Amino acid sequence: MTHHAYADRRSGSRTHADGRPPAPPPLPVAARRGPAGRRLLTGLFLVGLVASVLPWWLDTPAGSLTDATATTTAAGQITGLLAGYLLLVQVLMMSRLPVLERVVGGERIAAWHRDLGVTLLVAVLAHTAFILVGYGGLTGRSPWDQAGVMLREYQDLVSAFAAAGLLVLVGLTSVRAVRRALPYELWHATHLAGYAVLLLGFAHQFSNGTQLFRPGPVRTGWIVCYGLVVAALVWGRLVGPLTVNLRHRLRVADVVAESPDTVSIYLTGVRLDRLALLGGQFFRWRFLTRGCWWQSHPFSVSAAANGRWLRLTVKVVGAYTGDLRDLEPGVRVWAVGPSGTFTAAHRVRDRALLIAGGSGITPLRAMLEELPPGAALIYRARTPADVLLHRELDWLAQARGVRIWYVVGSRNDPGPRQVMSPDGLRRLVPDVARRDVYLCGPPGLVEQSRRLLRRIGVPRRQIHVGTFEL
Ligand SMILES: Cc1cc2nc3c(=O)[nH]c(=O)nc-3n(C[C@H](O)[C@H](O)[C@H](O)COP(=O)(O)OP(=O)(O)OC[C@H]3O[C@@H](n4cnc5c(N)ncnc54)[C@H](O)[C@@H]3O)c2cc1C
């Protein structure tokens, strides 16, 4: 590994930044991305939800739900249609389609995916239960016997039951406590089974689904939706990343120690000036060495786009990040992104306050180059050695008119306690309620800060959270 205190890459030089004035930072990015795109997508989702039940509505004559059996069967059909729709939306959200990543952002998509996953699981289980009870009632069988008959007599239902079983497995491994206990790669591999659910659950909708059985516009529309989602998946996961990586051909240029447990990885490539990247966004990086190629991990860029190099700053927390310290210059890199709405372009006010904890400084450091002058940064760190990118931040303080407070110590020390109190925060940043506030750091600090900001009257829409969890 090459050790530099701070290599002045801004001017393209590989020497230390020993007083030589670096190139001026880029102009601030315009605030142009409000919540309108997200609202539109939420509206489209709700329209789709209603539309997914229409086939049942159109197919069911008024007054036909005369007894409990008919009502239960109808509930089974409705939950089946809803489950089919929700499954498509779930897969679409994981397609990494650039427009979704740009408008909603990878972190928020992951949160929506988590929340909707629970609804999907409930819909699938309800569909199975209602259908077994409903059809069992029609034929005078118990739900268990009905399940046996269906499995024996309807070929596509075997795969449908397998799909439901897989979905339960995915759901169980997504429970927070279970997920934490599993190695990330095992959890991720189980989660990829979601694609198999799409495949296994496909056929029974058309061979056994009352509303989709007959050829016609409803059936054709449903198949087209499946086709579009698969196309989005192929584009977002395969064609898009292939195009970006062939165009930019990224390689490791250098690995620089920032602290005993943190390194910055500099990457070069071709046509980097054409990369539409904002400070605060992240890529999923795959370093193509023998030990690392099979995993991709998310890291934010820790410097704004400059057309010549990219940089990520990585804290060693486990085996993979440990291996990154030993990357050699020249290693090829496969990157998927950029993703995320934690950027200066998503602000709603003119001025910003940034609150960082530990390695949470990385996206904020990049964003500082793109915020208008007058931003303020509170940087919490446990010890002086945990303060990263110190010299660059001081340089930005001058070049960009950023006010910076380094608040060092444990959360119970008098200094940090004072700063992270309503009076302390108002004293440092009197106009805090009229600023966008960007938070990034350990979950405890982010949650404490979020509560504090709400208490002192910062509106929810002005609070932006960058999480290191997907
Ligand atoms: C949007 C985003 C941006 C991030 N930016 C930075 C950054 O700029 N600098 C930095 O130091 N860290 C960043 N992280 C965190 C970084 O991704 C993890 O610390 C790293 O993946 C841990 O890998 P590990 O195998 O060394 O550690 P492990 O001990 O295996 O993992 C520690 C934790 O990291 C998460 N994690 C592990 N592997 C993955 C994976 N493949 N994909 C997603 N999460 C995973 C899991 O929550 C896990 O519990 C970011 C995370 C996210 C989600």
- Nearest-atom index, ligand 1, CA of 262: 11
Nearest one of 212, 231, 214 to 222, comparing CA atoms: 212
For ligand 1, the distance from its centroid to the CA atom of residue 318, given in whole angstroms, is: 9
Q: Is the pLDDT of residue 239 over 90?
A: yes
Question: What is the residue with the minimal CA distance to atom 37 of ligand 1?
Answer: 184
- Nearest-atom index, ligand 1, CA of 302: 8
User: Which is more confidently placed, 85 or 178?
Assistant: 85
Distance of CA 127 to the CA centre of its chain: 29
Predicted pLDDT at 8? 41
Residues 166, 200: contact at Cβ < 8 Å?
yes
DSSP state of 432: G
CATH 3.40.50.80 fits 344-466, yes or no: yes
Mean pLDDT on 452-458: 94
For residue 374, the one-letter residue type is G
Roughly how many angstroms between the first and final C-alpha of the chain, as a whole number?
29
Q: Is the pLDDT of residue 17 over 50?
A: no
Most informative mutation of 176, 277, 299, 359 for ligand 1 (most atoms within 8 A of CB): 299
For residue 226, the one-letter residue type is Y
Measured in residues, the chain has a length of 470
For ligand 1, the distance from its centroid to the CA atom of residue 73, given in whole angstroms, is: 45
List, chain by chain if needed, residues with CB within 6 Å of any ligand 1 atom: 107, 184, 282, 295, 297-300, 312-315, 317-321, 359, 362, 468-470
Q: Where are the alpha helices (DSSP H) in 36-67?
A: 36-59
Q: Which of 211-215, 232-236, 414-418 has the lowest mean pLDDT?
A: 211-215
Residue 78 CA to residue 83 CA, distance in Å, equals 9
Mean pLDDT on 37-47: 90
DSSP state of 271: S
Predicted pLDDT at 27? 63
For ligand 1, the distance from its centroid to the CA atom of residue 110, given in whole angstroms, is: 14
- Nearest-atom index, ligand 1, CA of 297: 41
Residues 302, 281: contact at Cβ < 8 Å?
no
Q: Which of 23-32, 75-84, 103-112 has the lowest mean pLDDT?
A: 23-32
For ligand 1, the distance from its centroid to the CA atom of residue 310, given in whole angstroms, is: 19
- Nearest-atom index, ligand 1, CA of 107: 1
The mean predicted confidence, pLDDT, of the chain is: 87
Q: Is the pLDDT of residue 35 over 80?
A: no
Predicted pLDDT at 6? 35
Predicted pLDDT at 110? 87
Residues 276, 338: contact at Cβ < 8 Å?
yes
Task: Concatenate the DSSP letters of all residues of 68-137 into one string.
Answer: HHHHHHHHHHHHHHHHHHHHHHHHHHTS--HHHHHHT-HHHHHHHHHHHHHHHHHHHHHHHHHHHHHHHH
Residue 387 CA to residue 381 CA, distance in Å, equals 6
- Nearest-atom index, ligand 1, CA of 324: 26
Q: Is the pLDDT of residue 266 over 90?
A: yes
Residue 230 CA to residue 454 CA, distance in Å, equals 41
Mean pLDDT on 32-36: 66
pLDDT in tens, 365-391: 999 999 988 899 999 999 998 999 999
pLDDT in tens, 75-101: 999 999 999 999 999 999 989 898 888
Confidence class for position 253, pLDDT limits 50, 70, 90: very high
Q: Which of 78-82, 282-286, 290-294 has the lowest mean pLDDT?
A: 290-294
Q: Is the pLDDT of residue 4 over 80?
A: no
pLDDT in tens, 185-207: 888 888 888 788 888 888 888 88
Residues 369, 285: contact at Cβ < 8 Å?
no
Q: Is the pLDDT of residue 218 over 80?
A: yes
SS3 of 258, please?
Answer: strand
Most informative mutation of 96, 108, 184 for ligand 1 (most atoms within 8 A of CB): 184
SS3 of 157, please?
Answer: helix
Q: Which of 60-69, 246-255, 280-289, 317-326 has the lowest mean pLDDT?
A: 60-69
For ligand 1, the distance from its centroid to the CA atom of residue 252, given in whole angstroms, is: 19
Q: Is the pLDDT of residue 14 over 60?
A: no
For ligand 1, the distance from its centroid to the CA atom of residue 368, given in whole angstroms, is: 22
Predicted pLDDT at 280? 94
Q: Domain residues of the chain, as ranges?
A: 36-243, 249-339, 344-466
What tokens were used for 137? Answer: 């009632």
DSSP state of 11: G
CATH of domain 249-339: 2.40.30.10
Where do we find the tokens 């009229």?
434
Residues 6+ apart with CB under 8 A from 338: 101, 275, 276, 277, 278, 281, 282, 283, 301
- Nearest-atom index, ligand 1, CA of 183: 30
For ligand 1, the distance from its centroid to the CA atom of residue 3, given in whole angstroms, is: 23
